[in-house]
Structure 1
């Protein structure tokens, strides 16, 4: 009697990329002029192209018109990395990871604010509970950046900042992006 052939093994899931691997990935895209040139720039609105990130990561190439910003936000528990590919961006962040859930308003201690100028070729990796905003402070020049997140963004929490108080404003889900 013949037996049925054994089922094919399930395809291996890619290993989760590390934050360092995400940073290497965004640096490589930012350094590729042909990939960066694929992004159409709009004079008033941010533009983007979704990219295939390493190991199932979500990745984006973003265009920033002069004066645009993200507002304060987190990445819903995902970690990630970003690099400026053209122009210059400024990241304003908090020097302490904040809990991602269980609060609506926090009074921030003095000395937590950090500001990083990120000219072309510069970027950073960040952890799961990172709260920041990214700004193109130029009045004349677009900026372009590359971002990657793992796991893919389940949501983004947006915050309002009033001096030392950070308040949860809205939670956005992927279907609204």
Structure 2
């Protein structure tokens, strides 16, 4: 198995004219502060809920409700850059500080020291580049969380992974028609 040690690199300058990761984060934070919009999201005690939003500059955006104890599992965003911000509750993001190859592998052994974790309470957010692999969790045993997410270009696909220790496995590739 290849040993992933390559640090993440920013996208090449001039790649496209869409919103930057920083602009996506500004949008996510502003939208997360819209209490009327946040209150309009129906919350389900059993599963995540979502509403599609109009993002800036042709980006894809979502308002997502997270019941206690739910999460995304490990995934990437198909080469899109993005951002998200907590609007209510607290989310935990676990991510990899390594750029993974996008094609031609099913199993990778991750190097020591690539794991990162951060907690995002209400009003806090983070931006990320096109090779970001992470999972997002609502670790609370009794409180819903709500967040705003934005991606550019709109998600062409999402790769889903499983992880056992240092071994990351590509499990499936989802296309937009599966989640819209």
Q: Specify if TM > 0.5.
A: yes
State the shift of 1:20 in Å. 0.7
Matches within 5 A, 1:105-144: 105-144=107-146
| Match of residue 169 from structure 1 | 171
RMSD: 1.1
**Is 1:47 aligned to residue 49 of structure 2?**
yes
Q: Output the CA distance in 2 between the equivalents of 1:122 and 1:99.
A: 29
Corresponding residue for residue 99 of structure 1: 101
1:12-51 equivalences under 5 Å are 15-51=17-53
Shift of 1:171: 0.4
Deviations 1:43-87 (A, max 9, x none): 111000000000000000000000000000000010000000000
CA distance, structure 2, for counterparts of residue 162 and residue 121 of structure 1: 32
SS state at 1:81 partner: strand
Task: Give the C-alpha shift of residue 15 in structure 1.
Answer: 4.1
Other-structure match for 1:68: 70
- The runs of 5 or more residues in structure 2 that have no matched partner are 1-15
| Cα drift, residue 175 of structure 1 | 0.7
Q: Distance in 2 between matches of 1:48 and 1:112?
A: 30
- Distance in 2 (CA, whole Å) between partners of 1:126 and 1:142 is 24
The size of the alignment, in residue pairs, is: 164
Q: Distance in 2 between matches of 1:99 and 1:33?
A: 39
Aligned to 1:152: 154
Take 1:57 and 1:74, find their aligned partners in 2: how far apart are those partners? Answer: 16
For structure 1, which runs of at least 5 residues remain unmatched after alignment? 1-13
Secondary structure, aligned partner of 2:82:
strand
In the aligned structure 1, how far is the partner of 2:104 from the partner of 2:53? 32
**Equivalent position of 1:9 in the other structure:** none
CA–CA separation in structure 1 for the residues paired with 2:76 and 2:29: 21
- Counterpart-to-counterpart distance in 2, 1:116 and 1:122: 11
